Amino acid sequence: MELTDTQGEIFVVKLDSSDATRTAILAAARESGTAIKLEPASSGRGWIILMQFWPLAFLGMCAIATASLAILAWKALLNERVDYIGTWD
């Protein structure tokens, strides 16, 4: 909720619909002639998408790490020289 007083100062207040003081604040603002601009609450879709994507990304990283370790172990089992991850002779 954005409140603008009679001098033109802007105050931003976050209230949800379950806030007990919301009706009192709105009533007081209307009585004083303060302009009230109500904005809809954010849906939080960004967090939902992020939380659904993260496990898939983590699973992919685990699969890549496991494959890399399996290749290194296989090369070591065959007694091949391993300089560092990614190159073998």
**Domain spans, the chain:** 2-37, 45-88
Q: Please name the amino acid found at residue 26.
A: L
Q: How far apart are CA 25 and CA 49, in angstroms?
A: 34
What confidence category does residue 81 fall into, taking pLDDT thresholds of 50, 70 and 90? Answer: low
- Phi, psi for residue 22 in degrees, rounded to 5: -60, -50
Reported as a single tens digit per residue, the pLDDT across 7-52 is 888 888 777 666 777 788 778 878 888 777 777 767 778 888 888 8
**What's the pLDDT at 24?**
82
What confidence category does residue 75 fall into, taking pLDDT thresholds of 50, 70 and 90? Answer: confident
Q: What is the pTM of this model?
A: 0.39
Q: Please name the amino acid found at residue 89.
A: D
**What's the pLDDT at 82?**
57
Per-residue pLDDT, averaged over 59-68, amounts to: 94
Pair 72, 82: CB distance under 8 Å: yes
Buried (b) or exposed (e) across 57-82, using 16+ Cβ within 10 A? eeeeeeeeeeeeeeeeeeeeeeeeee
C-alpha of 78 from chain center: 46
